[in-house]
Structure 1
Amino acid sequence: MSSGSDPLRLVLMGVAGCGKSSVGAALAPVLGAVYRDGDDLHPAENIAKMAAGQPLDDADRAPWLRLCGQEFARTPRLILGCSALKRAYRDILRSEAGGPLRFVHLAGSREVIAARMASRPGHFMPPALLDSQFAALEPPGADEGAVTADITLPLPALVAAIAAALSTPA
Protein backbone atom coordinates (compact mmCIF):
# COMPACT_ATOMS: atom_id res chain seq x y z
CA MET A 1 0.00 0.00 0.00
CA SER A 2 1.56 3.26 -1.03
CA SER A 3 1.63 6.44 0.94
CA GLY A 4 0.76 9.81 -0.45
CA SER A 5 -2.48 11.35 -1.55
CA ASP A 6 -4.32 8.17 -2.52
CA PRO A 7 -7.11 7.42 -0.07
CA LEU A 8 -6.63 4.77 2.56
CA ARG A 9 -9.69 3.82 4.55
CA LEU A 10 -8.71 1.03 6.90
CA VAL A 11 -10.54 -0.30 9.94
CA LEU A 12 -8.66 -2.36 12.51
CA MET A 13 -11.43 -4.44 14.02
CA GLY A 14 -11.80 -7.02 16.75
CA VAL A 15 -12.89 -7.53 20.30
CA ALA A 16 -11.71 -5.29 23.12
CA GLY A 17 -8.10 -5.98 24.02
CA CYS A 18 -7.07 -7.43 20.64
CA GLY A 19 -4.50 -4.68 20.05
CA LYS A 20 -6.24 -2.18 17.77
CA SER A 21 -4.52 0.82 19.36
CA SER A 22 -1.03 -0.71 19.46
CA VAL A 23 -1.25 -2.07 15.92
CA GLY A 24 -2.79 1.15 14.60
CA ALA A 25 -0.07 3.32 16.13
CA ALA A 26 2.65 1.08 14.66
CA LEU A 27 0.99 0.58 11.26
CA ALA A 28 0.12 4.22 10.54
CA PRO A 29 3.68 5.43 9.83
CA VAL A 30 4.37 2.35 7.70
CA LEU A 31 1.36 3.17 5.50
CA GLY A 32 1.73 6.96 5.61
CA ALA A 33 -1.58 7.29 7.43
CA VAL A 34 -3.12 8.77 10.54
CA TYR A 35 -4.34 6.44 13.29
CA ARG A 36 -7.51 7.33 15.20
CA ASP A 37 -8.93 5.31 18.07
CA GLY A 38 -12.67 4.87 17.67
CA ASP A 39 -12.96 4.69 21.46
CA ASP A 40 -12.29 8.44 21.48
CA LEU A 41 -15.57 8.96 19.59
CA HIS A 42 -17.79 7.15 22.10
CA PRO A 43 -20.31 9.41 23.80
CA ALA A 44 -19.92 9.72 27.56
CA GLU A 45 -23.05 7.60 28.08
CA ASN A 46 -21.49 4.63 26.25
CA ILE A 47 -18.27 4.87 28.25
CA ALA A 48 -20.20 5.08 31.52
CA LYS A 49 -22.30 2.06 30.57
CA MET A 50 -19.25 -0.06 29.70
CA ALA A 51 -17.34 1.12 32.77
CA ALA A 52 -20.32 -0.06 34.86
CA GLY A 53 -19.96 -3.52 33.32
CA GLN A 54 -22.91 -3.27 30.95
CA PRO A 55 -22.39 -4.24 27.32
CA LEU A 56 -23.54 -1.81 24.65
CA ASP A 57 -26.50 -2.79 22.51
CA ASP A 58 -27.10 -1.99 18.85
CA ALA A 59 -28.96 1.23 19.71
CA ASP A 60 -25.99 2.41 21.80
CA ARG A 61 -23.52 1.60 19.05
CA ALA A 62 -25.33 3.02 15.98
CA PRO A 63 -24.61 6.75 16.55
CA TRP A 64 -21.01 5.93 17.51
CA LEU A 65 -20.54 3.81 14.38
CA ARG A 66 -21.87 6.65 12.22
CA LEU A 67 -19.33 9.03 13.79
CA CYS A 68 -16.56 6.48 13.22
CA GLY A 69 -17.53 6.10 9.56
CA GLN A 70 -17.67 9.87 9.08
CA GLU A 71 -14.04 10.17 10.23
CA PHE A 72 -13.01 8.74 6.84
CA ALA A 73 -14.54 11.73 5.02
CA ARG A 74 -12.42 14.09 7.17
CA THR A 75 -9.09 12.26 6.88
CA PRO A 76 -8.02 10.91 3.48
CA ARG A 77 -5.48 8.37 4.80
CA LEU A 78 -7.01 7.00 7.97
CA ILE A 79 -6.60 3.86 10.01
CA LEU A 80 -9.43 3.63 12.52
CA GLY A 81 -9.52 1.28 15.48
CA CYS A 82 -13.14 0.19 15.84
CA SER A 83 -14.51 -3.09 17.16
CA ALA A 84 -16.91 -3.45 14.18
CA LEU A 85 -17.97 -6.79 15.64
CA LYS A 86 -20.98 -7.46 13.42
CA ARG A 87 -21.46 -7.25 9.67
CA ALA A 88 -24.28 -4.77 10.28
CA TYR A 89 -21.82 -2.53 12.15
CA ARG A 90 -19.31 -2.77 9.30
CA ASP A 91 -22.13 -1.88 6.90
CA ILE A 92 -22.83 1.31 8.89
CA LEU A 93 -19.14 2.21 8.68
CA ARG A 94 -19.15 1.55 4.93
CA SER A 95 -22.26 3.68 4.39
CA GLU A 96 -20.72 6.67 6.20
CA ALA A 97 -17.13 6.42 4.93
CA GLY A 98 -17.46 8.22 1.60
CA GLY A 99 -15.56 5.46 -0.20
CA PRO A 100 -14.58 1.82 0.06
CA LEU A 101 -13.20 0.48 3.34
CA ARG A 102 -10.73 -2.29 4.04
CA PHE A 103 -10.98 -4.24 7.27
CA VAL A 104 -8.23 -5.98 9.21
CA HIS A 105 -9.59 -8.41 11.78
CA LEU A 106 -7.16 -8.69 14.67
CA ALA A 107 -7.94 -12.23 15.77
CA GLY A 108 -6.86 -14.10 18.86
CA SER A 109 -8.13 -16.54 21.45
CA ARG A 110 -10.23 -15.52 24.41
CA GLU A 111 -7.39 -16.55 26.73
CA VAL A 112 -4.77 -14.38 25.01
CA ILE A 113 -7.08 -11.37 24.90
CA ALA A 114 -8.26 -11.82 28.51
CA ALA A 115 -4.63 -11.79 29.66
CA ARG A 116 -3.99 -8.60 27.69
CA MET A 117 -7.09 -6.91 29.12
CA ALA A 118 -6.09 -7.82 32.65
CA SER A 119 -2.72 -6.11 32.15
CA ARG A 120 -4.00 -2.77 30.80
CA PRO A 121 -4.83 -0.52 33.73
CA GLY A 122 -7.21 2.39 33.51
CA HIS A 123 -9.19 1.36 30.43
CA PHE A 124 -12.95 1.85 30.66
CA MET A 125 -13.73 -1.58 29.16
CA PRO A 126 -13.64 -4.13 32.00
CA PRO A 127 -12.43 -7.68 31.29
CA ALA A 128 -15.84 -8.91 32.47
CA LEU A 129 -17.34 -7.71 29.17
CA LEU A 130 -15.02 -9.83 27.03
CA ASP A 131 -17.51 -12.70 26.78
CA SER A 132 -20.16 -10.31 25.41
CA GLN A 133 -17.64 -9.13 22.81
CA PHE A 134 -16.93 -12.67 21.61
CA ALA A 135 -20.66 -13.47 21.63
CA ALA A 136 -21.33 -10.50 19.33
CA LEU A 137 -18.34 -11.13 17.03
CA GLU A 138 -19.20 -12.04 13.45
CA PRO A 139 -15.83 -12.50 11.72
CA PRO A 140 -15.79 -10.89 8.28
CA GLY A 141 -17.15 -13.06 5.50
CA ALA A 142 -15.13 -13.98 2.43
CA ASP A 143 -17.15 -11.43 0.43
CA GLU A 144 -15.93 -8.58 2.67
CA GLY A 145 -12.31 -8.75 1.43
CA ALA A 146 -10.94 -8.46 4.96
CA VAL A 147 -7.49 -9.40 6.14
CA THR A 148 -7.32 -11.59 9.24
CA ALA A 149 -4.20 -11.10 11.34
CA ASP A 150 -2.92 -13.33 14.15
CA ILE A 151 -2.37 -11.16 17.23
CA THR A 152 0.06 -13.65 18.77
CA LEU A 153 2.74 -12.47 16.34
CA PRO A 154 5.25 -9.98 17.76
CA LEU A 155 4.12 -6.45 16.92
CA PRO A 156 6.76 -5.76 14.21
CA ALA A 157 5.94 -9.06 12.48
CA LEU A 158 2.20 -8.40 12.80
CA VAL A 159 2.55 -4.93 11.26
CA ALA A 160 4.69 -6.32 8.43
CA ALA A 161 2.19 -9.10 7.74
CA ILE A 162 -0.72 -6.64 7.64
CA ALA A 163 1.16 -4.22 5.37
CA ALA A 164 2.05 -7.09 3.01
CA ALA A 165 -1.54 -8.37 2.94
CA LEU A 166 -2.86 -4.87 2.20
CA SER A 167 -0.53 -4.51 -0.76
CA THR A 168 -2.73 -6.99 -2.64
CA PRO A 169 -6.23 -6.06 -3.86
CA ALA A 170 -9.19 -7.02 -1.70
Structure 2
Amino acid sequence: MKQTSKTWPAIRWVVMGVCGSGKSTIGQQLADACGDAYVEGDAFHPQANVDKMSAGQPLDDEDRRDWLRALREQIGRAREQGKGLVVSCSALKRSYRDLLREGDPALRFVHLDGPRALIAERLAARRNHYMPPHLLDSQLAALEPLDGEEDGLRLDIRQAPVQLVNAILASREDAA
Protein backbone atom coordinates (compact mmCIF):
# COMPACT_ATOMS: atom_id res chain seq x y z
CA MET A 1 0.00 0.00 0.00
CA LYS A 2 2.59 2.55 -0.96
CA GLN A 3 1.45 5.98 -1.99
CA THR A 4 1.66 6.46 -5.72
CA SER A 5 3.44 9.36 -7.35
CA LYS A 6 0.12 11.20 -7.64
CA THR A 7 -0.17 14.20 -5.33
CA TRP A 8 -3.23 13.86 -3.11
CA PRO A 9 -5.05 16.71 -1.47
CA ALA A 10 -4.68 16.82 2.30
CA ILE A 11 -7.67 15.05 3.82
CA ARG A 12 -8.57 14.77 7.48
CA TRP A 13 -10.22 11.44 8.31
CA VAL A 14 -11.94 10.00 11.35
CA VAL A 15 -12.01 6.22 11.46
CA MET A 16 -15.07 5.54 13.61
CA GLY A 17 -17.05 2.68 15.07
CA VAL A 18 -17.73 0.84 18.29
CA CYS A 19 -14.98 -0.62 20.46
CA GLY A 20 -13.37 -3.61 18.79
CA SER A 21 -14.26 -2.59 15.24
CA GLY A 22 -10.61 -2.05 14.27
CA LYS A 23 -10.36 1.74 14.38
CA SER A 24 -6.76 1.81 15.62
CA THR A 25 -5.51 -0.82 13.19
CA ILE A 26 -7.19 0.68 10.14
CA GLY A 27 -6.46 4.24 11.21
CA GLN A 28 -2.73 3.59 11.59
CA GLN A 29 -2.57 1.70 8.28
CA LEU A 30 -4.48 4.46 6.49
CA ALA A 31 -2.19 7.13 7.92
CA ASP A 32 0.86 5.12 6.84
CA ALA A 33 -0.54 4.65 3.33
CA CYS A 34 -1.28 8.38 3.00
CA GLY A 35 1.92 9.54 4.65
CA ASP A 36 -0.15 11.44 7.21
CA ALA A 37 0.02 11.74 10.98
CA TYR A 38 -2.12 9.39 13.07
CA VAL A 39 -3.93 10.35 16.27
CA GLU A 40 -5.11 7.55 18.58
CA GLY A 41 -8.32 8.97 19.99
CA ASP A 42 -8.18 6.81 23.12
CA ALA A 43 -4.98 8.60 24.16
CA PHE A 44 -6.99 11.82 24.56
CA HIS A 45 -9.48 10.47 27.10
CA PRO A 46 -9.08 12.16 30.47
CA GLN A 47 -8.21 9.79 33.32
CA ALA A 48 -11.76 10.13 34.70
CA ASN A 49 -13.13 8.59 31.48
CA VAL A 50 -10.61 5.77 31.56
CA ASP A 51 -11.46 5.08 35.20
CA LYS A 52 -15.18 5.07 34.46
CA MET A 53 -14.84 2.64 31.54
CA SER A 54 -12.42 0.47 33.52
CA ALA A 55 -15.10 0.22 36.21
CA GLY A 56 -17.52 -1.06 33.57
CA GLN A 57 -19.56 2.13 33.28
CA PRO A 58 -20.41 3.54 29.86
CA LEU A 59 -19.53 7.13 29.06
CA ASP A 60 -22.29 9.66 28.53
CA ASP A 61 -22.39 12.80 26.39
CA GLU A 62 -20.94 14.96 29.17
CA ASP A 63 -18.03 12.53 29.67
CA ARG A 64 -17.20 12.66 25.98
CA ARG A 65 -17.47 16.45 25.49
CA ASP A 66 -13.92 17.50 26.49
CA TRP A 67 -12.45 14.42 24.81
CA LEU A 68 -14.15 15.31 21.53
CA ARG A 69 -13.06 18.94 21.87
CA ALA A 70 -9.44 17.84 22.25
CA LEU A 71 -9.72 15.76 19.07
CA ARG A 72 -11.44 18.66 17.28
CA GLU A 73 -8.41 20.81 18.13
CA GLN A 74 -6.05 18.23 16.59
CA ILE A 75 -8.19 18.16 13.43
CA GLY A 76 -8.38 21.95 13.28
CA ARG A 77 -4.63 22.31 13.68
CA ALA A 78 -4.01 19.89 10.79
CA ARG A 79 -6.49 21.81 8.62
CA GLU A 80 -4.85 25.15 9.44
CA GLN A 81 -1.48 23.67 8.48
CA GLY A 82 -2.86 22.15 5.28
CA LYS A 83 -1.90 18.66 6.43
CA GLY A 84 -3.69 15.36 6.20
CA LEU A 85 -4.55 13.54 9.42
CA VAL A 86 -6.15 10.28 10.48
CA VAL A 87 -7.92 10.10 13.84
CA SER A 88 -9.41 6.99 15.42
CA CYS A 89 -12.50 7.92 17.42
CA SER A 90 -15.74 6.10 18.12
CA ALA A 91 -17.75 9.18 16.97
CA LEU A 92 -20.89 7.24 17.81
CA LYS A 93 -23.43 10.03 17.45
CA ARG A 94 -24.11 12.60 14.76
CA SER A 95 -23.73 15.36 17.39
CA TYR A 96 -20.22 14.07 18.17
CA ARG A 97 -19.30 14.08 14.49
CA ASP A 98 -20.74 17.59 14.11
CA LEU A 99 -18.48 18.76 16.95
CA LEU A 100 -15.46 17.15 15.27
CA ARG A 101 -16.43 18.79 11.96
CA GLU A 102 -16.10 22.19 13.65
CA GLY A 103 -12.35 21.58 13.30
CA ASP A 104 -12.70 20.89 9.58
CA PRO A 105 -16.01 21.17 7.68
CA ALA A 106 -14.55 18.83 5.01
CA LEU A 107 -13.75 16.11 7.57
CA ARG A 108 -14.40 12.63 6.17
CA PHE A 109 -15.55 9.63 8.19
CA VAL A 110 -14.94 5.92 7.74
CA HIS A 111 -17.47 3.88 9.72
CA LEU A 112 -16.12 0.40 10.45
CA ASP A 113 -19.17 -1.79 10.90
CA GLY A 114 -19.79 -5.47 11.36
CA PRO A 115 -21.72 -8.15 13.17
CA ARG A 116 -22.00 -7.88 16.94
CA ALA A 117 -20.72 -11.46 17.36
CA LEU A 118 -17.48 -10.71 15.50
CA ILE A 119 -16.88 -7.51 17.45
CA ALA A 120 -17.59 -9.28 20.75
CA GLU A 121 -15.13 -12.01 19.77
CA ARG A 122 -12.45 -9.42 19.06
CA LEU A 123 -13.09 -7.70 22.39
CA ALA A 124 -12.84 -10.98 24.28
CA ALA A 125 -9.42 -11.61 22.70
CA ARG A 126 -8.10 -8.12 23.52
CA ARG A 127 -5.61 -7.79 26.34
CA ASN A 128 -4.50 -4.77 28.37
CA HIS A 129 -7.32 -2.47 27.31
CA TYR A 130 -9.47 -0.55 29.77
CA MET A 131 -12.72 -1.02 27.83
CA PRO A 132 -14.46 -4.16 29.12
CA PRO A 133 -16.30 -6.24 26.51
CA HIS A 134 -19.67 -5.86 28.22
CA LEU A 135 -19.74 -2.15 27.29
CA LEU A 136 -20.17 -3.10 23.63
CA ASP A 137 -23.95 -3.14 23.94
CA SER A 138 -24.02 0.42 25.32
CA GLN A 139 -21.94 1.58 22.35
CA LEU A 140 -24.17 -0.24 19.88
CA ALA A 141 -27.24 1.35 21.51
CA ALA A 142 -25.69 4.84 21.19
CA LEU A 143 -24.43 4.36 17.61
CA GLU A 144 -26.00 6.57 14.96
CA PRO A 145 -24.63 5.40 11.59
CA LEU A 146 -23.50 7.98 9.04
CA ASP A 147 -26.42 9.51 7.22
CA GLY A 148 -26.63 10.66 3.61
CA GLU A 149 -25.61 14.22 4.50
CA GLU A 150 -22.30 13.18 6.06
CA ASP A 151 -19.13 12.83 4.01
CA GLY A 152 -17.83 9.33 4.47
CA LEU A 153 -18.21 5.65 3.85
CA ARG A 154 -19.29 2.56 5.74
CA LEU A 155 -17.12 -0.54 5.48
CA ASP A 156 -17.65 -4.15 6.56
CA ILE A 157 -15.01 -5.28 9.06
CA ARG A 158 -15.27 -8.85 7.82
CA GLN A 159 -12.93 -7.72 5.05
CA ALA A 160 -9.18 -7.89 5.57
CA PRO A 161 -7.51 -4.69 6.78
CA VAL A 162 -5.67 -4.26 3.47
CA GLN A 163 -9.02 -4.39 1.62
CA LEU A 164 -10.52 -1.82 3.97
CA VAL A 165 -7.60 0.57 3.55
CA ASN A 166 -7.67 0.11 -0.22
CA ALA A 167 -11.40 0.93 -0.25
CA ILE A 168 -10.71 4.14 1.67
CA LEU A 169 -7.88 5.05 -0.69
CA ALA A 170 -10.14 4.38 -3.68
CA SER A 171 -12.78 6.68 -2.21
CA ARG A 172 -10.11 9.38 -1.91
CA GLU A 173 -9.31 8.99 -5.59
CA ASP A 174 -13.01 9.19 -6.49
CA ALA A 175 -13.32 12.44 -4.49
CA ALA A 176 -10.26 14.04 -6.11
1:166, CA displacement in angstroms?
2.5
- Residue of structure 1 equivalent to 2:115: 109
| Contact 2:31–2:86 (Cα < 8 Å) also in 1 | yes
Instruction: For 2:175, give the aligned amino acid.
Output: P
- What pairs up with 1:48-63 in 2 under 5 angstroms? 48-63=51-66
Distance 1:20 1:58 in 2: 20
| Contact 2:107–2:151 (Cα < 8 Å) also in 1 | no
Distance 1:166 1:5, change over 3 A: closer
TM-score, normalised by the number of residues in structure 1? 0.93
C-alpha RMSD of matched pairs (Å): 1.8
TM-score, normalised by the number of residues in structure 2? 0.90
- Residue of structure 1 equivalent to 2:99: 92
| Contact 2:75–2:100 (Cα < 8 Å) also in 1 | no
1:99, CA displacement in angstroms?
4.2
Q: Does 1:18 align with 2:14?
A: no
- What pairs up with 1:12-161 in 2 under 5 angstroms? 12-75=15-78, 76-95=83-102, 97-161=103-167
Distance 1:139 1:166 in 2: 20
Instruction: For 2:164, give the aligned amino acid.
Output: L
1:73, CA displacement in angstroms?
2.5
The C-alpha deviation readout for 1:39-77, integer Å capped at 9, x for no partner, is 000000000000100000000001110111111123321
Distance 1:4 1:50, change over 3 A: farther
Query: After the TM superposition, which segments of 4 or more aligned residues of structure 1 sit over 3 Å from their partners?
Result: 1-6
Instruction: For 1:16, give the aligned amino acid.
Output: C
Distance 2:89 2:173 in 1: 21
Unaligned runs of 5+ residues in structure 2 are none
Instruction: Number of aligned residue pairs: give it.
Output: 169
| Contact 1:37–1:80 (Cα < 8 Å) also in 2 | yes
Unaligned runs of 5+ residues in structure 1 are none
Distance 1:53 1:4, change over 3 A: farther
Greater displacement, 124-133 / 2-11: 2-11
